Amino acid sequence: MQVVKKDGTREDFDKQKIINSCLSAGLAPDVAERIGNEVENLAYDGVETKEIRILVLNKVRKEDPSCAQKWIDFEQNKT
């Protein structure tokens, strides 16, 4: 399965990137793994990274609202 990046390029879906971003935001490993699995199950070939970010953020907010801003900050500092 491939994702479409902001610049239009494609790359393979990598659940570990989601897990790592969740861990960096302070979520527990089991929660980060669960979010990664849930997003992987919802993703489809050609999904845009923007959609993935929205899914992850919504799940992070639901699991631990205090980590949501940390996750946003981590995502913004990646680029």
pLDDT in tens, 12-68: 999 999 999 999 999 999 999 999 999 999 999 999 999 999 999 999 999 988 888
Residue 41: per-residue pLDDT: 96
How, if at all, do strands 47-48 and 10-12 pair?
A: unpaired
Residue 75: per-residue pLDDT: 82
Q: Is residue 70 predicted with pLDDT exceeding 90?
A: no
> In three state form, how does the secondary structure of 28-78 look?
CHHHHHHHHHHHHHHCCCCEEHHHHHHHHHHHHHHHCHHHHHHHHHHHHHH
